[in-house]
Chains A and B, each alone.
Chain A
């Protein structure tokens, strides 16, 4: 039983998790985009990814906006149950630093040497990366901060650069904007899975207004995504097919889309926690190690963990 679970643990091939969460719009009436991003941030942190592995980019400060009747809070639900801003939010790129250039530099790693670690995506070829974008978008573009746009071609090229530089093992791309599906149309690198809140020609709608604060608090897709993620805990076995079912047309009004053709594994075998959580890989061994014995040359014990995996799986099968 334990060995079967072990098999499942090593099936994804990643050793660490990263998340890049971006909110691209500013101004008070775009409160919901910041709330979207903070909700995903909250879930991702809760499931185990530490701040050092999260690059959070928020284009505007809603919590301390002069118009916020509840300063230092960002709510996701009109009953004010969930303050997604919390006490320990760590924003890496804030305000005017959230630009297309900075976003692409974070993804590709081409940052000036003076950039601090917290602003870098220090992923390697065994990293699973979650990328979440939200804001105002259109057919083939996403608007950054009212003055510039990122196109789907640029994004696809950035992912290709990441693949060439072996900066990710698998990548999950979620976008909650109008006509979001257009943003993943041009991907061509392997091991990319993408979800979007609406198809080309559809608008993503906001969920609920809050009369006390005076703005819409969340977008529909992310609201139901948050509801879904609240049920996930680090040991849950929910897989990607459940994520694809989040927010059907009856709830979202728009039709969420997804793309899995570039992904090498079957989505049914991909756990939610492969991307949203940071599940520690535990190596189960049956050998006992005698710690009192004198030191032996270590090199003989160093094997590629893949070898061990095959050995272990052959052992369990046999």
Chain B
């Protein structure tokens, strides 16, 4: 007889399942973590290569000559910026027009839900200036974008200067098949969001901006330039965008290929590549680079001005010039040549970049891990949840009743629907409160307590989060009678399935976020029952809750960036991370904060309810 139709074998199978459940789960967890850490080991990664045939190799002659003139323009821009005290719109319009571009401006205003203490802004008003270089012989169907942010103080002046220098040089070439849009955006991401929304006629976040007068066709690729010094020692590539979306790997390959050709040092996550992969320090270097990328991707915020392009299926990356203490310096002409080469190759594109991977992790700039290789790490963690579900199904009796013959049907005492539904509803309502109340009640909080608006929002959020811990005691005061033994099992079944679906969907879109949440939530989801020692379990649950996971990630991130922080500074950083997360959601539509508040936190509260089930 078959394995599943033979009752004796079935019983043996289910006995095996329930007996070995805990060891298998532990092994899966360790295997998942080991698989993930093994991704950074060089023999398990693949070397990057150009997949797009139309772009081919770096076979192009770069002749950009005017690096010094670009720096002079940058200094002029700095002077005008200081004179005007913001973005020198008139000077930019005049300069771009003199270079033969079609110049347009866009003004925008934005009121943040609460003041942003990191960038010190609340009511934001600004203007974007962009000039379109029309392709000499082509129809205006496609475009490429080169942007530089207009930042305060002495930042990014050289970037704007180089942008204008390249505009002048590109204008004299006749081989452009796509329009090139040179964009200078004010207030970095807010300006970029306004420009992109205006360009694509969407309005997802409720900003107020004037419509764009000039357009250039559908944008195929974009690069954002950040350059704050006259000479640099290396170029850093920033890929992570909004909601953890990454540009097509071919863009990173193109950048790397040109850096190799021209001889500029290039880094990713600010770390230079090492050749000694077989030593421990070499491996840990690659692992650190990969962990930085994972943490940045999990945060769901755009790490450069390019981050907002990705949502419109425009492959974009940010290039940041870094000037550190190294002997060999690269001048602006060379950076201009690199950008010229990249744009000439992007010019050859016939379709959007689609041949290479969209989901990948990079332990270094020349090595990558694709989704097919890293997903099993998450899969191993998700299997734990499924094993626990099967285990619970055996206990609840559902599995046995199918497997055993009808005469021996086991009648489970089904718990009342209300006793299951109530914790679910109350957890989700707490989640909704966590999502909406901080911003809504900031005025009230400011009136009653001596804190600023930002602090009010963040502290309200933490207060609601902690208040949720007191819920189980109060829920049971509402419900008359005691919950049954079956009750918590069904609730745990619901919670496990819910968590599995949630984490699975998150991992598909943003693997890093899904994996980090799985790392902390799967152990507690798997092993929590009302019968485990209460004090210890409660402590572990709080330590592994989403909020504390965020706290650890902040500390780990600082460690990896080689700027470790003390507990006090770490706490302040944690508070600012929460406020930035809420702002990102309000301004750009980042989904991390709603995901954590509305879905992950209620799920954790369900598990907390289970722990305190009476």
Q: Is B60 interfacial (CB-CB < 8 Å)?
A: yes
CA distance A28 to B348 in the complex (A): 7
CB-CB under 8 A from B173, the residues of chain A are 69
Q: Are B60 and A214 in contact (CB under 8 A)?
A: yes
Which residue of A28, A66, A71 has the most chain B CB atoms within 10 A of its CB atom?
A: A66
B137 touching A66 by the CB < 8 A rule?
yes
Residues of chain B lying within 8 A (CB to CB) of residue A12: none
Q: Cβ of A211 and Cβ of B59 under 8 Å apart? A: yes
Contact with A along B541-570 (1 / 0, CB 8 A): 000000000000000000000000000000
Are A71 and B59 closer than 8 Å at their CB atoms? no
Per-residue interface assignment for chain B, residues 308 to 344, with 1 indicating a CB less than 8 Å from any chain A CB and 0 otherwise = 0000000000000000000000000000000000001
C-beta contact mask, B34-62 vs A, less than 8 Å → 1, else 0?
00000000000000000001101101110
Q: Are B60 and A211 in contact (CB under 8 A)?
A: yes
Q: Is B13 an interface residue (CB 8 A)?
A: no
Give the docked Cα–Cα distance between A211 and B62 (Å).
9
B61 to chain A, nearest CB (A): 4
A71 to B53, CA, bound (A): 23
Q: Which of A27, A28, A64, A214 has the most CB of B within 10 A?
A: A214
Q: Given that A67-B348, A71-B137 are contacting pairs, would A29 and B53 also be in contact in the complex, using a CB cutoff of 8 Å?
A: yes
In the bound assembly, the distance between CA atoms of A187 and B350 in angstroms comes to: 37
B176 on the A face (CB < 8 A) = yes
Chain B window 149-186, contacts with chain A (Cβ cutoff 8 Å), 1 for yes, 0 for no: 00000000000000000000000011111000000000
User: A27 to chain B: which residues have CB within 8 Å?
Assistant: 54, 350
In the bound complex, residues from chain B placing their C-beta under 8 Å from that of A216 are 59
Residue of A nearest to B177 (CB): A66
Alpha-carbon gap, A28 to B177, bound state (A): 11
User: A residues within 8 A CB of B350?
Assistant: 27-28
A282 to chain B, nearest CB (A): 49
A212 interfacial contact with B, CB 8 Å: yes
Q: What chain A residues lie within 8 Å of B176 (beta carbons)?
A: 66
Q: For the complex, give the distance between the alpha carbons of A18 and B138 in Å.
A: 37
Which residues of chain A from 174 to 219 have any CB-CB distance to chain B below 8 Å in the complex?
A: 209, 211-212, 214-216
Q: Which residues of the partner chain B approach A71 to less than 8 Å between Cβ atoms?
A: 137, 174
Size class of the contact patch on chain B: 20 to 34
Q: A161 an interface residue at 8 Å Cβ cutoff?
A: no
Cα(A211)–Cα(B61), bound, Å: 5
Identify which of residues 55-78 in chain A touch chain B, using a CB-to-CB cut-off of 8 Å: 64-69, 71
Q: Please, how many angstroms separate the alpha-carbon atoms of A68 and B138 in the complex?
A: 11
Q: B137 contacts A214, CB within 8 Å?
A: no
Whole-angstrom CA separation of A212 from B60 in the bound complex:
6
Q: Is B347 an interface residue (CB 8 A)?
A: yes
Over the window 350-382 of chain B, the binary record of Cβ atoms lying under 8 Å from chain A Cβ atoms (1 yes, 0 no) is: 100000000000000000000000000000000
Q: Which residues of A contact B347 (CB under 8 A)?
A: 67
Minimal beta-carbon separation of A275 from chain B (angstroms)? 34
Q: Which residues of B contact A29 (CB under 8 A)?
A: 53-54, 56, 348
> B59: which A residues are within 8 A, CB to CB?
209, 211, 214-216
- A58 CB, nearest partner CB in chain B, Å: 18
Taking CB atoms, residues of chain B closer than 8 Å to A66 are: 135-138, 175-177
Known: A67-B175, A67-B348, A71-B174. A28 touches B54 (CB 8 A): yes
In whole angstroms, how far apart are the Cα atoms of A71 and B59 in the complex? 19
Contacts of A214 in B (CB 8 A): 59-61, 175, 344, 348
Count residues of A near B (Cβ-Cβ below 8 Å). 16
* Complex contact B56–A68 (CB within 8 A): no
A108 to B313 alpha-carbon distance, docked (Å)? 48
**Which residues of chain A are near B348, meaning CB under 8 Å?**
28-29, 67, 214
A67 vs B61: C-alpha distance when bound (angstroms): 14
Q: Is the CB of A67 within 8 A of B177?
A: yes
A residues less than 8 Å from B138 (CB atoms): 66
**Residues of chain A from 216 to 266 with CB closer than 8 A to chain B in the complex:** 216
Find residues 102-149 in chain A having any chain B CB closer than 8 Å to their own CB.
Answer: none
Q: Which residues in B have their C-beta under 8 angstroms from that of A212?
A: 61
Chain A window 10-45, contacts with chain B (Cβ cutoff 8 Å), 1 for yes, 0 for no: 000000000000000001110000000000000000
Q: Which of A62-100 contact B (CB under 8 A)?
A: 64-69, 71
Query: B344: nearest residue on chain A (CB-CB)?
Result: A214
Chain A residues, CB < 8 A from B344: 214
Produce 1/0 per residue, B205-216, CB < 8 A to A: 000000000000
Expressed in whole angstroms, the Cα–Cα distance for A215 and B56 within the complex equals: 9
Which residues of the partner chain A approach B61 to less than 8 Å between Cβ atoms? 211-212, 214
- In whole Å, how far is A224's beta carbon from the nearest beta carbon of chain B? 21
**Nearest CB in chain B: distance from A240 CB, A:** 36
Complex: A215 Cα to B347 Cα, angstroms = 13
Q: How far is the CA of A66 from the CA of B173 in the complex (A)?
A: 11
> Measured between alpha carbons, how far is A214 from B57 in the docked complex, in Å?
9
0 or 1 for each of B133-155: is its CB under 8 Å from A? (1 = yes)? 00111100000000000000000
Residue of A nearest to B137 (CB): A66
Q: How far is the CB of A71 from chain B (nearest CB, A)?
A: 7
Which residues of A lie under 8 Å from residue B53 when comparing CB positions?
29
> Please, how many angstroms separate the alpha-carbon atoms of A209 and B176 in the complex?
19
Tell me the bound Cα distance from A27 to B137 in angstroms.
Answer: 16
B52: nearest chain-A partner, CB-CB = A29
Contacts of A67 in B (CB 8 A): 175, 177, 347-348
Q: Which residues does chain B contribute within 8 Å of A68, judged by CB atoms?
A: 175
Q: With the chains together, A211 CA to B261 CA distance in Å?
A: 13
Q: CB-nearest residue of chain A relative to B178?
A: A66
Cα distance A67–B80 when bound, in Å?
A: 37
Of all chain A residues, the one with the shortest Cβ separation from B60 is A214
CA distance A67 to B137 in the complex (A): 9
Cβ of B136 to closest chain A Cβ, rounded Å: 8
State A65–B137 Cα separation when bound (angstroms): 9
Contact indicator B60/A69 (Cβ below 8 Å)? no
Residue of A nearest to B173 (CB): A69
Report the separation of the CA atoms of residues A28 and B138 in the bound assembly, to the nearest whole angstrom: 14
Q: Which residues of A contact B135 (CB under 8 A)?
A: 66
Which residues of chain A come closer than 8 Å to B60, judged between CB atoms?
211, 214
Give the chain B neighbours of A211 by CB distance below 8 A. 59-61
* Chain B, residue nearest A64 (CB): B137
A75 to chain B, nearest CB (A): 14
Nearest A residue to B175 by beta-carbon distance? A69
Residues of B within 8 A of A209 (CB): 57, 59
Q: Collect the chain B residues with CB atoms within 8 Å of residue A65's CB.
A: 177
A155 to chain B, nearest CB (A): 26
The residue on A at minimum CB distance from B136 is A66
B residues near A69, Cβ cutoff 8 Å:
173-175
Complex Cα–Cα for A69 and B57 (A): 18
Q: Which of B60-99 contact A (CB under 8 A)?
A: 60-61
Expressed in whole angstroms, the minimum distance between the Cβ of A28 and any Cβ of chain B is 6
A137 to nearest B CB, angstroms?
Answer: 16
Q: CA of A168 to CA of B446 in the docked complex: distance in angstroms?
A: 96
Q: Report the separation of the CA atoms of residues A66 and B348 in the bound assembly, to the nearest whole angstrom.
A: 10
Closest to B53 in A: A29
Question: Within the complex, what minimum Cβ distance (angstroms) separates B341 from chain A?
Answer: 10
Residue of B nearest to A68 (CB): B175
Q: Nearest-CB distance from B18 to chain A (Å)?
A: 57
Across-interface contacts of B177 in A (CB, < 8 A): 65-67
Q: How far apart are the CA atoms of A179 and B87 in the complex, in Å?
A: 60
- From A67, A211, A216, residue with most partner B Cβ within 10 Å: A67
Give A69 to B60 CA distance when docked, in angstroms: 12
| Complex CA–CA separation, A253 to B79 (angstroms) | 59
Closest Cβ of chain A: how far from B559's Cβ, in Å? 45
Closest 3 CB pairs of A and B: A211-B61, A66-B177, A66-B138
24 CB contacts below 8 A, A to B, read A27-B350, A29-B54, A64-B137, A65-B177, A66-B135, A66-B136, A66-B175, A66-B176, A67-B348, A68-B175, A69-B173, A69-B174, A69-B175, A71-B137, A71-B174, A209-B59, A211-B60, A212-B61, A214-B59, A214-B60, A214-B344, A214-B348, A215-B56, A215-B59
Additional pairs, 18, CB under 8 Å, beyond known A28-B350, A67-B175: A27-B350, A28-B348, A29-B53, A29-B54, A29-B348, A66-B136, A66-B175, A66-B176, A66-B177, A67-B348, A209-B57, A211-B60, A211-B61, A212-B61, A214-B60, A214-B348, A215-B56, A216-B59
